[in-house]
Structures are given as structure tokens and as C-alpha cells.
Amino acid sequence: MSRIGKKPISVPKGVKIDVSGQTVHVEGSKGSLSHEVHPLVSVAWDEDAKTLSFAVPEGKEGDREAKSLWGTTRSIVENNIHGVSQGYTKVLEVQGVGYTAAVEGSRLKLVVGFANPIFKDIPQGVDVKVEKQTVTVSGYDKQAVGQFAAEVRATRKPEPYNGKGIKYSDEVIIRKEGKTAGA
């Protein structure tokens, strides 16, 4: 049994759920998302209790793939519900002398020590704000926000000697001691 999969999801006010077949469509104040549920997992929407529950069909309880998809599906739909009601945010810090970030139209311009600036196209549904050395990536789709933040960080990963690069605000970079000259 999946401990996560068997927990029902309570839906907050202001979020509309539409279950049609194997598709769960979630709509809230921030936007709308839909997820196609795998056939090994069944979805049930209880209108009275405002809960969404997931189960594995009869005879498939011992199936390893069904158990893993059960918990994964529940987590994805719960993330969708949280995203359309509250949203997700990732905060990145640009550290280094001369390192800057700026939003130009629908692109993020990064000057991080290379010969030319690097431009990243901002995906649909993701908002990017830059204040001094801080880049804030926010949106209602957890996967899109996380993916874009990871791509920005991968442009110039933080290095352990000087601490230069792009890092998450809550990330701790363990610093290394450099070479010492002499005896």
C-alpha cells in the first residue's frame, strides 16, 4: 500500500476540480492545469466532502508499478491544486563581481563571466523578477518553475573557492580552501 497514495486530497475554496475519465483538470485563481492519470490508478471526486481520492484497481494491489504510480499521481495532482491556489516561487542569487541579471522582454539576460551575455527564454506561465542580485522565478506550475530555475542555475553553477555563480537562496555552498604558496 502507498502511504501517500491512500491519503485523500482536500480541495481548498476557490479551486474547481473536473474529473473526466482519466483526466483531472484543476482551475484556480492563478491559472489552470490538467493531468492525465495512468490507467493503473483510478480517481474519485467527492463533491460533498470536497476531496479527491486515488486508488489502485482490484487485483493490481501487488503490482509494483501500480503502487509507485499511485503515490506519484496523487503528489502531482496535489501540487497542481497548490499551484493554482497559491503558486510556487524559487529565489536565485547571482554572486560575483560584474555578474548581473535583467529581464528584457520575454527573455532573461545573464552576464555571468562569459564573453557574451546569455539569454534564457522565459516559458509561458512563469514570471521572473530581478532586484539587484536576486532573481525570483514564480508561477502556478511547479514543474515549469523548477525547470526554469534549474536551467538558470546551470548557466553558471556556484563554485566552491570564491563562491561566484548562481545559487538558490536557501542553498549552502561549502567553501574550500585554495592553494597556499610556500612551505
Position 97, amino acid: V
**Quick one: DSSP state of residue 123?**
P
Q: What is the dihedral of CA 68, 70, 72, 75, to 10 degrees?
A: -150
> What would the pLDDT profile of 115-144 be if each residue is shown by its tens digit?
999 999 999 999 999 999 999 999 999 999
Domains of the chain: 9-85 (3.90.930.12), 88-168 (3.90.930.12)
Decide: pTM greater than 0.85: yes
Q: Which run of H or of E encompasses 137?
A: strand 134-139
> What would the pLDDT profile of 16-42 be if each residue is shown by its tens digit?
999 998 899 999 999 999 999 998 899
Strands in 42-46's sheet, in edge-to-edge order, are 9-10, 51-55, 42-46
